[in-house]
Amino acid sequence: MNQNEALEEITRLSEELNRHNYLYYVESQPEISDYDFDMLLEKLQKLEIQFPEFASENSPTKRVGGDITKKFESVKHRYPMMSLSNTYSEEDISDWFNRIAKLVEGKIEYVCELKYDGVAIGIQYVDGKLTQAVTRGDGTQGENVTNNVKTIRTIPLSLNGDFPADFEIRGEIFFPLKNFLALNNQRREDGEAEFANPRNTASGTLKMQDSKVVAERGLDCFLYGVYGTGNIRPGHYEMVEKVADWGFKIPKNENRYIEKVDSLEGVMEFIHYWNEERKNLPFEIDGIVIKVNDYYLQEELGFTAKSPRWAIAYKFKAERVETILESVQYQVGRTGAITPVANLKPVQLGGTTVKRASLHNADQIEKLDLHLLDSVYVEKGGEIIPKIVGVNLAERQSNARKIEFISTCPECATELVRTEGEAQHYCPNETGCPTQMKGKLEHFISRKAMNIDGLGAETVDALFEKGLVRNCADLYDLTFHQVVELERMADKSANNLIAGVEASKVIPFERVLFGLGIRFVGETVAKKLAFALKNIDAIMQSNFDGLIAIDEIGDKIAMSIIAYFEDPKSIELINRLKDKGLQFEVEEKAVASNKFEGMAFVVSGVFNAFSRDELKEVIVSNGGKNVGSISAKTTFVVAGDKMGPAKLQKATDLGVRILTEDEFIELLNN
């Protein structure tokens, strides 16, 4: 394929992928399967690696992330992002409505919108291309989170139709509840503290350095505020409808996410409707926003020092109930983390019956000063997880017994430990605590790890109770005759289980590593670790400095990995799994050329044509080697923007040649 053919094909694939992305994520009307979409994306990625000069900043391949942002620069807003005045009182809404009526003659149209509980964002488009995304910050300036925003699939990278040459659109980035729950489930499995609520998690996710992790979390966005278009429509409602034609995901009238009304009764009906229905939404809202629709009237009404006079927010009160704390029980997680759970007298909250609430850790119990049979106040934290927020001390019995956190494991009676700087207590008896042992087995066979067909939690329990398995290596010693004797296990099911265990031996190394259940080594960290060090032996021999040099691996993760492989029982387990034929090294990809053979590269900084991961892949596919630190053996340092001055100085001192991104592309092409 020559360059003209490559450019034509890259353009065609980009347009096709953008269209399918819009149909799937915005219109919910996909035309092709996920597999076909992934195949098109893979084809585009390969072409962009082969012809990097044609890789666009807004290519659909940017959706998967990979850019590393060490520091988010401050950017001044072209149009200040003012806060709305807000109230919890319907009387205040009525007063605001009447003030507007006195200031403006004639009939006034109002727009009622959901107040999304997320992160406000302003996105600039120039010539139909996404060029910059900035958070609210202090309203005058915010942080540039463009690389991370590009991974959100409902935000278009390029537009269609009759859009202005340069404008800004604003909206709210939020965490869909389904994705938030899945993330917390994964963190619980990995032995990490769960996130408290979707809003704060969305905010933290947007500030993550690795955009690949942002892409995997599945943030979403509604866009609705348009600036710099010259009011090409007469009002806010009409403008929101218009930007949908350009490819934006907007709140739609058919869902009642946005509605135009002309009376106070219409405003109140919208508020009352969503005060009840908000519990059925797939995302969080914390109120309703009411705006004067007409742009001319908005200008006439103007602003106060802090907020527009033509808009107001009504905030819902957090639903709170009072009930009795009957007891506290302690759950043991797969990694030994101890989580206290409050058992409550059943009470209705947010449309569901609440019987239990997480107490998180010992500090939370101490902070609340909980006693048995206390009358406690319960809210739904982030509208999802019930939590105790206070105690009605007037109702406390004089002889109430203070709740003391346990000192030994409720499953195996081992004395608990608490590492300095951590909130949770742990049971250190990893290989002897039944709950931990079964939890590790269930994790090992899970879909994202070994995905063993025919094995589930119930079967793991049965195998464990029979004494047939104690760890994941025991699964590979199972025979048909042992399995078929389990209760409710027919011949076909037993054969499927044995076949599933055998088939898992081809599962790639990064998933095997994840399946081992090393504390803090989740799915993403396992991939980073596997692809950086290539095999299990290199990981076992790595020291602290070598581990923290790998993307996404910090002090806590590095120490956990080292501790895991210092345990002789872990080494014994690995050796048994090796003997059974599991994959313990990364399968090397085919090499496109050998032009970089014998060359060692250090890649550092932020790049335009490539993400860092893409650049490293190009090096490997052309026979080169990526190394983590600069030494006399380094052939080239590929230096992007914001590369650390210490690295540059070291390369200079050692006489290592430093390449810009353009010089690297020239080296690749020649």
Q: What amino acid positions are annotated as catalytic residues?
A: 115
- What dihedral angle (degrees, nearest 10) is formed by the CA atoms of 51, 57, 59, 64? 110
The amino acid at residue 58 is N
Three-state DSSP at 576 gives helix
Alpha-carbon span 74 to 111, nearest angstrom: 32
Give kind and range of the element (H or E) at residue 530: helix 523-533
Task: Give the residue from 167, 158, 156 showing the smallest Cα distance to 129.
Answer: 158
28: left (phi over 0), alpha (psi -120 to 50) or beta: left
Q: 218: alpha, beta or left, given left = phi > 0 and alpha = psi -120 to 50?
A: left
Contacts of residue 230, defined as CB under 8 A and 6 or more positions apart, other chains included, come to 164
Amino acid symbol at 71: K
Instruction: Cite the beta strand spans of 336-455 per DSSP E.
Output: 338-349, 352-358, 375-381, 385-391
d(CA 359, CA 352): 19
* Strands 129-135 and 119-126, sheet pairing: antiparallel
Which H or E run includes 133?
strand 129-135
What is the C-alpha separation between 277 and 115, in angstroms, rounded?
14
Cα angle, residue 155 at apex, residues 149 and 158 outer, rounded to 5°: 105
Q: Amino acid identity, residue 74?
A: S
What DSSP assignment string belongs to 610-643? S-HHHHHHHHHHTT-EE-SS--TT--EEEE-BT-
CA distances from 396 to 61, 369, 392, 401 (A): 59, 11, 7, 10
Secondary structure of residue 183 in the 3-state scheme: helix
What is the SS3 assignment for 210? strand
Q: How far apart are CA 360 and CA 364, in angstroms?
A: 6
The span from the CA of 259 to the CA of 255, in Å, is 9
Per 3-state DSSP, the chain is made up of helix, strand and coil in percentages (nearest 5) of 40, 20, 40
Contacts of 399 (CB under 8 A, 6+ apart): none
Please name the helix (run of DSSP H) or strand (run of DSSP E) that holds residue 220, with its range, or none.
Answer: strand 220-227
- Angle between helix axes 612-621 and 34-50 (nearest 10 degrees) is 70
Which pair of tokens denotes residue 23? 């149909």
Most distant CA pair in the chain, distance: 87
Q: Where are the alpha helices (DSSP H) in 292-424?
A: 295-301, 362-368
Task: Please spell the DSSP secondary structure of 257-308, one letter per residue.
Answer: SEEEESSHHHHHHHHHHHHHHGGGSSS-EEEEEEEE-BHHHHHHH-B-SSSB
Question: What are the residues facing 226 on neighbouring strands?
Answer: 169
Nearest to 191 by CA among 522, 527, 558: 522
